Amino acid sequence: MPVRAKRLDLIPPYLFGEIARLKAAARAEGKDLIDFGIGDPDQPTPTPIIDRLYEEAKNPETHCYDESDAGDPIFLKQAAQWFYNRYGVEVTTDQMVLLIGSKEGLAHLCWAYIDPGDIALIPDPNYTVPKVQTLLAGGQPYLMPLTIENNFLPDLTAIPTDVAKAAKLLFLNYPHNPTGAIAPLSFFNDAVRFAKEYDLLICNDCAYAEVGYDGYQPPSILQAEGAMDVAIETHSLSKTFNMTGWRIGFAVGNKEGITTLNRMKSNIDSKQFAAISRTAGWALLNASNADTLALYDLRRKRLIDGLNSLGWKLDYPKAGFFVWIPVPKGYTSMTFAKVLLEKAGVLVIPGLGYGELGDGYVRMSLTINGDKAGERVDEAIRRIRETVTLEF
Ligand SMILES: Cc1ncc(COP(=O)(O)O)c(C=O)c1O
């Protein structure tokens, strides 16, 4: 066999491997695990969306290559309409490109902009794709610390001027995975000013755009003044409508940024099955996922109330479906995750997997397989109370 490309050695070690091994061992022993690990909606895609797919799939027009420039124009028009309805920002389809999920868009954006040695500004902790793909493209991630003191928003003024001047991309992700943090529009305004000053392209990953609680609707960076000059945003149906497996989303924003991303993409992928993209566009304008949101809301309150009864002092997250929990005294994120798994049969993700600064935390996802109405959350809290010694 030929030797694999050296760039693959740049992929950081798979930190979840040890947890995956313990999970498999516990399952093999027949242990009842309560899984707060995976960030994948446990509820099915709403039935009207599935019915619509069936109708779209019967249309032979959807069966061929999509030869459009940036993705099925019907989908892009529907997505543009949704964007206007949701944010009051008018966009045209030449400011958009279809994505096969936001992961794909984030990855290819790195390849479209990063040459060897180029810098991308990336939060730590963060969803892993921007950092890994910057490394694979030969670039240098400059990590912006997200700390509780800064409400898990990067302090842009702390970035050294020479780094900001040399950087090309600024990655943001609000609502944030893994911290559950949100960004006020004022922060997006600051980020846009910063990007203009240093000639950067911002990419805000908005995968959790529609997962908000108590009436909170996360803003888009494109609502910030002048954002269209320097920013793009990635959107996805994955979490909005429990459609992670369908692989559909879009990027929207600065025309040059979108065209550059599409130049890379059009030489790699052939877009998405049009029955899926048209169904997705229809869903954006017509479907509701209120039942799933109500379930996350219930679990969110039960989990935070339960953890606080054990000694934590946590606020309810306002958006997304992650709870970011500081580990008790004497633990790292990995040792605490192991203890919860081995003693309580409760699976959480060690924060170290999202960056060095995640090490003081574990992440719990509100997407709990097998939970109907918070009963598995209550059971997890009971088991932790009875089996794990906690000191704060
Ligand atoms: C912050 C963030 N961005 C992007 C993605 C990937 O989403 P998609 O299914 O749209 O590729 C995820 C998935 O977990 C995520 O948490």
Cβ burial of 14 (10 Å; 0-12, 13-18, 19+) is exposed
Domain match, 204 and 76 both: yes
Residue from 176, 232, 236, 250 whose mutation best tests the ligand 1 pocket (most atoms within 8 A of CB): 236
Q: Is residue 40 part of a domain?
A: yes
In terms of residue numbers, what domain contains 228? 62-286
Looking at the fold, whether 209 and 92 belong to one and the same domain comes out as: yes
Residue 249 Cβ contacting ligand 1 at under 6 Å: yes
- Whether 205 is in the pocket of ligand 1, judged by its Cβ within 6 Å, is yes
**Structural Rg of the chain based on CA atoms:** 21
179 & 301 share domain: no
d(CA 315, CA 12): 32
Same domain (yes/no): 361, 219: no
Residue 209 lies in a domain: yes
Residue 51 lies in a domain: no
- Do the bridges between strand 349-350 and strand 96-99 make them parallel or antiparallel, or are there none, so unpaired? unpaired
In this structure, which residue's CA is closest to atom 16 in ligand 1? Answer: 177
Question: How far, in Å, is the centroid of ligand 1 from the Cα of 166?
Answer: 28
Domain membership of residue 54 (yes or no) is: no
Is residue 320 in contact with ligand 1, taking CB distance under 6 Å?
no
How far, in Å, CA of 388 to CA of 392, rounded?
A: 13
- Calpha distance 44→292 (Å, rounded): 9
Could you tell me if 348 and 295 lie in one domain? yes
Any idea what DSSP says for residue 118?
A: -
CA–centroid distance, 387 to ligand 1, in Å, is: 33
132 in a structural domain: yes
Domain boundary among the residues 243, 270, 286 is at 286
> Is 1 inside a domain boundary?
no
- Please tell me if the CB atom of residue 38 comes closer than 6 angstroms to any atom of ligand 1: no
Q: Is 367 near ligand 1, meaning CB less than 6 Å away?
A: no
Q: Within 10 Å of residue 285's Cβ, how many Cβ atoms? A: 11
Query: Which two tokens mark 338?
Result: 């192991």
Ligand 1 within 6 A of 246 CB?
A: no
Specify whether 74 is located in the same domain as 152.
Answer: yes
Residues 348 and 265 reside in one and the same domain: no
User: Is 365's C-beta closer than 6 angstroms to any atom of ligand 1?
Assistant: no
Asked if 230 and 196 count as a contact pair (C-beta separation under 8 A), the reply is yes
Per DSSP, the three-state class of 108 is helix
Contact 272, 243 (CB under 8 A): no
CATH number at residue 102: 3.40.640.10
Q: Are 349 and 177 in contact (CB under 8 A)?
A: no
**Residue of 179, 189, 185, 191 lying closest to 155 (CA atoms):** 191
Picking from 267, 286, 305, the residue at the C-terminal end of a domain is 286
CATH code of 27's domain: 3.90.1150.10
CA 300 to chain centre: 18
Residue 298 domain-assigned (yes or no):
yes
Sequence-ordered alpha helix ranges (H) in the chain: 17-28, 47-57, 73-87, 102-113, 129-136, 161-166, 185-198, 255-265, 274-286, 290-309, 333-339, 375-387
Ligand 1 atom having least distance to the Cα of 126: 1
Report yes or no: 110 and 130 within 8 Å, Cβ to Cβ: yes
Check if 272 has its Cβ closer than 6 Å to any atom of ligand 1.
no
Residue 120 resides in a domain: yes
CA of 207 to the centre of ligand 1 (A): 6
Q: Do residues 281 and 323 share a domain?
A: no
**Ligand 1 mean position, distance from CA 180 (Å):** 13
What is the 8-class DSSP label of residue 150? Answer: G
Residues 98 and 179 in one domain: yes
Is the pTM here over 0.85, yes or no?
A: yes
Centre of ligand 1 from the C-alpha of residue 103, in Å: 6
State the total domains in the chain. Answer: 2
Among 286, 302, 332, the domain-final residue is 286
Omega of the bond leading into 123 within 30 degrees of 0 (cis) = no
* Ligand 1 contact, 39 CB (< 6 A): yes
Co-location of 17 and 76 in the same domain? no
Q: How far is the CA of 218 from the centre of ligand 1 (A)?
A: 16
279 plus 185 within the same structural domain: yes
Tens-level pLDDT at each residue, the chain (392 residues): 999 999 999 988 776 777 888 888 888 989 999 999 989 999 999 999 999 999 999 999 999 999 999 999 999 999 999 999 999 999 999 999 999 999 999 999 999 999 999 999 999 999 999 999 999 999 999 999 999 999 999 999 999 999 999 999 999 999 999 999 999 999 999 999 999 999 999 999 999 999 999 999 999 999 999 999 999 999 999 999 999 999 999 999 999 999 999 999 999 999 999 999 999 999 999 999 999 999 999 999 999 999 999 999 999 999 999 999 999 999 999 999 999 999 999 999 999 999 999 999 999 999 999 999 999 999 999 999 999 999 99
Q: How far is the CA of 280 from the centre of ligand 1 (A)?
A: 16
142, 271: one domain: yes
